[in-house]
């Protein structure tokens, strides 16, 4: 094992409830006495948050390759300055989106080469391999209607990716499912159309099973 920590990611389409579930899981694990670092992509560092503004804003036209390279720059800095140090300090790291979002959005939605993205990503993540991907699966119509009901992110109009239409989001969903089928031992696919409580119960159980398997003990016990 390259580091003593545990790395969990949340993935899913728009309106799948990842951010809510990532926060709940973080609070739950902290309550059990674990040291937890919660972060997000794109973002999580000052540069990452600036890149997030460019990526989610609708001012600049970007090709899937250009999007991927910007996400990758933010990812490289997040791994180097946040994720790897936390894993080396035996933390559980919860990341709200990680590289499977590139595979789904830029690969599935944008038709960028998977081989190319996997090669770049391998160089970025190095030994910060995922222990578990919590894929919150929701039918795009349902997810997108949750976003518009909320008035878009931060109460603003919909962002670059929300605005791409339901066909794009179907391809994103299919690509996430393909990622899960390719590595079933690393993924928990959870039906995100259920209530927040029901989804959380599945999330919690899947995460605790991985912690047990890895033998990670709460730091305060």
- Interface with ligand TMP by CB under 6 A: which residues? 14, 40-42, 56, 71, 97, 101-102, 105-106, 153, 161
In whole angstroms, the minimum distance from the beta carbon of 110 to ligand TMP comes to 8
In whole angstroms, the minimum distance from the beta carbon of 82 to ligand TMP comes to 14
Looking at the Cβ atoms of 39 and 101, the one nearer to ligand TMP is 101
Looking at the Cβ atoms of 5 and 108, the one nearer to ligand TMP is 108
Burial class of residue 122 (count of CB atoms within 10 Å of its CB; 0-12, 13-18, 19+): exposed
In whole angstroms, the minimum distance from the beta carbon of 137 to ligand TMP comes to 14
CB-based contacts of 80, cutoff 8 Å, min separation 6: none
Starting at the earlier edge strand, list the strands of the sheet with 92-96. 36-40, 92-96, 6-12, 132-137, 187-191
Angle between helices 114-125 and 64-78 (to 10 degrees): 20
Report residue 40 as tokens.
Answer: 């997000």
**Contact present, 79 and 128 (Cβ < 8 Å):** yes
- In whole angstroms, give the CA distance from residue 126 to residue 128: 6
Looking at the Cβ atoms of 153 and 214, the one nearer to ligand TMP is 153
Looking at the Cβ atoms of 34 and 173, the one nearer to ligand TMP is 173
In whole angstroms, the minimum distance from the beta carbon of 107 to ligand TMP comes to 9
Looking at the Cβ atoms of 67 and 131, the one nearer to ligand TMP is 67
Reference 41, options 115, 112, 121; nearest CA is 121
In whole angstroms, the minimum distance from the beta carbon of 172 to ligand TMP comes to 8
């Amino acid at each position: 094992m390259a580091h003593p920590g545990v790395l969990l990611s949340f993935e899913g389409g728009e309106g799948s409830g990842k951010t809510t579930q990532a926060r709940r899981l973080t609070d739950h694990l902290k309550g059990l006495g674990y040291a937890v670092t919660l972060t997000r992509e794109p973002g999580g560092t000052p540069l990452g948050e600036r890149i997030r503004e460019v990526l989610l804003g609708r001012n600049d036209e970007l090709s899937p390759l250009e999007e991927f390279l910007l996400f990758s720059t933010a990812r490289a800095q997040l791994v180097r300055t946040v994720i790897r140090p936390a894993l080396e300090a035996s933390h559980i790291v919860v990341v709200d989106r990680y590289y499977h979002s590139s595979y789904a959005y830029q690969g599935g939605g944008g038709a960028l080469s998977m081989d190319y993205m996997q090669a770049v990503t391998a160089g970025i993540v190095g030994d910060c391999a995922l222990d578990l991907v919590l894929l919150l699966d929701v039918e795009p119509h349902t997810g997108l209607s949750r976003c518009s009901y909320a008035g878009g992110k931060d109460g603003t109009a919909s962002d670059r990716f929300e605005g791409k239409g339901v066909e794009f989001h179907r391809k994103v969903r299919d690509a996430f499912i393909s990622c899960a089928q390719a590595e079933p031992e690393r993924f928990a696919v959870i039906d995100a159309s259920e209530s927040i409580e029901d989804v959380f119960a599945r999330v919690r159980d899947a995460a605790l099973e991985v912690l047990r398997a890895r033998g990670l003990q709460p730091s305060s016990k």
